[in-house]
Chains A and B, each alone.
Chain A
């Protein structure tokens, strides 16, 4: 692939990226969240089309108009979210969309042929799975093998694996590596995307690093170390971020119960039930929570706010343990969440700005259960003005607003409640630059008024610039808490990768 560029509305996802892989080579593809790895692979496999640039196979330029083209050229991809159908058996999944059938107008399925071929591919990668097992009953690792068998049965000459070990145990990961090395020996070209830099170190013949949609560098086998990779991923000289005076009411690292507003005490989430997480957020403090996608940050936030599963552990507010079983309980206690999925969970697109903003606090504008419309409209208008929401009126549907303005509406829901704790999950994702600065200002304002703020973000610059302290998570656990002075993109990234 050479000089691949791709623009999405508002962002340049890829800017003249070159990428190549030879037969019998394993190339590690590395980069922060949003660096462009997935987009590049989606272009390679025909899911997206590049705006410019060229894809060639064995020196011959090819056009990728869709996944079917990619499959025809022998490119197989195994996505992070395994695309297998749980209710169908293994053989059915391996042959999904290209089922073997008998001749004749009825095109009856040829189960025997599909099962024997599936068995052959599974044996090749040493997976102990029967082709007739329903996939829903398999472990994640076994599903992974089903996906690989599917790619192999299509005679993939190039195999792309996106975070294949994210849900595998170490022995299962070891098996997968053996399979990949086997395939490499057989001449298959392999692209291996992972945040686990140890795996890249161990496995890759070469690593290509992307940063902000550009080639940030490549490392050959001999020079491939974790430190070098992190340097290229972050790609900045070490600095302490924009300087901001250290505020006196937040003694750095002071986590004693006396000033702690929110205490998370040995909480285990449904996603990582074996890991206990403890942290504290003080009054007037912004605690940044950094980590890679899948590190368990959102799950932690959801467990605190009563949305997700809290397997065990306690949440304390101002030293008092809380019984939170639903978002309603959390909001009642003064803990509010600005969720990552803005359209699905933040706003109700079909309802007006006014109705969205007053939804959690409508009781305050009602008598005997009937809404006092003037009071409601006045409060909503005041909040919309405070937040500088750009809309022609508070009666327009929330869905018509830009991402940044929608995010302000979500924030507006909570402002009237004067939250004691407010948790932001990716507050500025998909938000334009101007609105981003305003949202940052509002976050700081909430903290200044005494709220304890938790800010989950995958944007390292945002984390470094906006946080008083930073907690870094990796695979469900907190791998470190950095004071403001120790907080650099590199120090965070080193804690965020294995």
Chain B
């Protein structure tokens, strides 16, 4: 593990220890399963956003994509009677398609990623509300696609399925980022896009694919979250998810300037955020303080990293 990863790991362990000490309920099977399920669903789209952040870009659209695709998934299955495999494939393809649109606008037309995906955030939220007629969608009793719902609510040997799915996604992403030619090019572009271009790297394709991956992973999360909540209100479903993802990536060692980050770090960052939310729950802190606690802890972490990191660099120099 790199220095950053070790830092996040220690922070995560310390936090778990504190919560466990303060509330024995933390280590109960039910609570751990619950946290694991959330880490799984949030972790998947956080990895996608992290990949985009490594190119030096940003993806603000994942929350709205979750809402739009959740609404569509419900309508496909319940209202239009599509077979579940077709509906799932269509949702993932749609996610990839939206990502491809972002990627082309960023890489081909050289629009700023912030603007492109901010417009995505607004567009897809509006589209979700319009398509759903602003009414809450769900899956009813879910006859005919029980297996699909089991992806979200089931578990394997006590481990919640979303967590298992995330582990698979994380492993594939780890291979892609840290062992493949594509991953090398991704980091090269994040560090120095000019030098990468001068070295013959197809920078536009690499960047565009990062957004496609983010879109696909947002779609996978969207499926899990939709099935899990079984109630998708288009105006609020997925709100702030893009910020969870960015926070997870940054806490996990990604630099918003690009070129830095790791899959392991992002996953641990996502876990850290969920443990913090759990802490608010278990320690009877008013739920309204939820975001404030997360903001405070991340800020303290960033300050500590800056001070500690600076001393480390000085020590080395």
A291 to chain B, nearest CB (A): 22
Which of A334-352 touch B at CB < 8 Å?
Answer: 337, 339, 344-351
Instruction: Tell me the smallest distance from the CB of B265 to a CB of chain A, in Å.
Output: 16
B199 at the interface (CB under 8 A from A): yes
Q: Which of B124-132, B189-197, B242-250 contacts A (4 or more CB under 8 A)?
A: B189-197
Given A363-B181, A370-B175, A371-B181, A307–B198 Cβ distance below 8 Å? yes
Q: How far is the CA of A307 from the CA of B181 in the complex (A)?
A: 22
Please give, as numbers and ranges, the residues of chain A lying within 8 Å of B200 by CB-CB distance.
Answer: 327-328, 330-332, 359-360
Known: A366-B180, A369-B182. A359 touches B192 (CB 8 A): no
With A328-B200, A328-B201, A328-B202: A346-B184 Cβ-Cβ less than 8 Å: no
Q: Are A359 and B184 in contact (CB under 8 A)?
A: yes
For chain A, residues 455 to 476, give those with C-beta under 8 angstroms from any C-beta of chain B. Answer: none
Q: Does B188 contact A (CB under 8 A)?
A: yes
Are the CB atoms of B181 and A350 closer together than 8 Å? no
B138 at the interface (CB under 8 A from A): no
> In the bound complex, do residue A339 and residue B180 qualify as a contact, i.e. CB atoms below 8 Å apart?
no
Instruction: Give B196 Cβ to nearest chain A Cβ, in Å.
Output: 7
- Residues on A with C-beta less than 8 A from B175 are 370
Q: CA separation between A327 and B181, bound complex, in Å?
A: 18
SS of B interface (majority): helix
Interface residues of A in 365-419 (CB under 8 A from B): 366, 369-371, 413
Q: Flag if B180 contacts A349 (CB, 8 Å).
A: no
For residue A252, CB closer than 8 A to chain B, the reply is no
A347 touching B202 by the CB < 8 A rule? no
Number of interface residues of B (CB under 8 A): 22
Is the CB–CB distance between B199 and A355 below 8 Å?
Answer: no
| Cβ-neighbour of B188 out of A331, A337, A339, A348 (below 8 A) | A348
Task: State which of B179, B191, B198, B259 has its C-beta within 8 Å of the C-beta of A339.
Answer: B198
Given A349-B191, A351-B191, also A371-B184 (CB < 8 A): yes
Q: Which residues of A contact B199 (CB under 8 A)?
A: 327, 331, 359-360, 413
Chain B residues with CB below 8 A from A347, complex form: 192, 195
Within the assembled complex, what's the spacing in Å between the Cα atoms of A193 and B155? 77
CA distance A376 to B196 in the complex (A): 18
In addition to A328-B200, A370-B180, 16 A-B residue pairs with Cβ atoms within 8 Å of each other are: A326-B202, A327-B198, A331-B199, A344-B192, A345-B198, A349-B191, A349-B192, A350-B192, A350-B259, A355-B184, A359-B184, A360-B201, A362-B181, A370-B179, A370-B181, A413-B199
Subset of 18 A-B contacts with CB under 8 Å: A307-B197, A307-B198, A326-B197, A327-B197, A328-B202, A330-B200, A332-B200, A344-B194, A348-B188, A348-B195, A350-B191, A350-B192, A351-B187, A359-B184, A363-B181, A369-B182, A370-B175, A370-B181
